[in-house]
Amino acid sequence: MTGGGLARIKRVLLWTDLGFLAYWVATVFGLVSVGADPFLQQWNWSFLGLDLAAIGLGLGSLLLVRRRPAAGERLMLVSLTATAAAGVMALNFYLVRCEFDPAWWIPNGWLVLFPVVAITAILITTPPTAAR
């Protein structure tokens, strides 16, 4: 991928992952909550593993892309896919419950839209590698 396009994706990925991490830190300290309903709390905490994996893979890809760009981009694709999956799962849950609170739809919409745009940009600008 070209340097400028990848640089923008890396910047946005960094801020998205830091925001994602900040959400979980705020949740741990009770600064953010899905409410008092035990079912909703359990549902929210069920995302912790997927979200932390997406965050770790994303931040790891930003470190790796400096030394091994091709490997870093591949890891970035995995991270972006996990991030989009988390966003889609959350939005589907809200849709099934017919809940349309912008405070939840907007951030989860971002977790879907940014990765889809970034993945598309990476895939259409990265030349295919030769089969081994």
In a domain, 57, yes or no: yes
In a domain, 14, yes or no: yes
pLDDT one-digit tens code per residue, 12-23 = 999 999 999 999
In a domain, 96, yes or no: yes
pLDDT one-digit tens code per residue, 43-80 = 999 999 999 999 999 999 999 999 999 999 999 999 99
Helix axes 102-125, 69-96, angle to 10 degrees: 150
Phi, psi of 58 (to 5 degrees): -65, -50
In a domain, 99, yes or no: yes
To the nearest whole percent, how much of the chain has pLDDT over 90?
89
In a domain, 103, yes or no: yes
pLDDT at 132 over 50: no
Q: For the whole prediction, is pTM greater than 0.75?
A: yes
Measured torsion, CA atoms of residues 57, 63, 69, 73, in degrees rounded to the nearest 10: 20
Yes or no: say if 126 and 73 are a contact pair by the CB < 8 Å rule.
yes
Helix axes 3-28, 48-67, angle to 10 degrees: 150
Structural domain tally of the chain? 1
Q: Residue 119: which domain range?
A: 3-30+45-125
Closest CA relative to residue 101, chosen from 28, 51, 12, 35? 35
**DSSP secondary structure string for all residues of 81-111:** HHHHHHHHHHHHHHHHTT---HHHHHHHHHH
